[in-house]
Structure 1
Amino acid sequence: MPFTPEQQQSLLAQKGVGKTVLQRLQQMGLDDTAKLAAADVDDILQQGAALTGSTCWKNSPQAKAAIVAAVEWAKTQS
């Protein structure tokens, strides 16, 4: 089930997670807590780089921190 509006707001409140990160997760099909909680951070970063055509998703410590925060958040929601 896709994130509820409340879950979206909660996820956006996580450090480093903004609307663009949320949008990319949704584009990758990681749009519910169970899928996101089960996802591998490095795989998400790789997919993000492929989606954007930019290596910054793979190489940026900020991007990695945001994805780690999102996955950890999802684990607390399940």
Structure 2
Amino acid sequence: MKGNEGFSAEERALLLTVKGVGPTVIGRLEQLGYHSLSALADADTTHIVKLVASMLDSTCWQNSPQARGAIDGAIALARSQTARDRQDVAP
């Protein structure tokens, strides 16, 4: 993961196209140390929602289908973008 820069403007714009993902969700991901789609592609939804719930000292993120859906969507986007980027580099 990159330093504390956060997602690039391009990656942020892509994430914002995912249902349920807004600036707050992106901010939470960045607080957890995810600063690129390639790092997020290796993430696990359950792990992320548990960490955010713990960070906020609230179970709402862990129990919310909307939060899980947003993180699932963000990870799916990251995986598809990472796979596409690998195909672009392949000989």
Q: Residue 30 of structure 1 aligns to which amino acid in structure 2?
A: Y
Contact kept in structure 1, 2:11 and 2:36, CA below 8 Å = no
Matched, 1:15 2:15: no
Match of 2:61 in 1: 57
Higher percent of residues as helix: 1
Contact kept in structure 1, 2:7 and 2:30, CA below 8 Å = no
- 1:3-42 map, 5 Å: 3-42=7-46
Question: Is there any run of 5+ residues in structure 2 with no aligned partner, and where?
Answer: 83-91
| Moved segments of 4+, more than 2 Å | none
Question: Is there any run of 5+ residues in structure 1 with no aligned partner, and where?
Answer: none
Could you state the TM-score of these two structures normalised by the residue count of structure 2? 0.81
How many residues are treated as equivalent by the alignment? 78
Greater RCO structure (CA 8 Å; 6+ sep): 1
Q: Deviations over 1:37-57 (max 9, x none)?
A: 101110000011011111011
> Which one has the largest radius of gyration?
2
Q: Deviations over 1:15-42 (max 9, x none)?
A: 0001100000000001111210101110
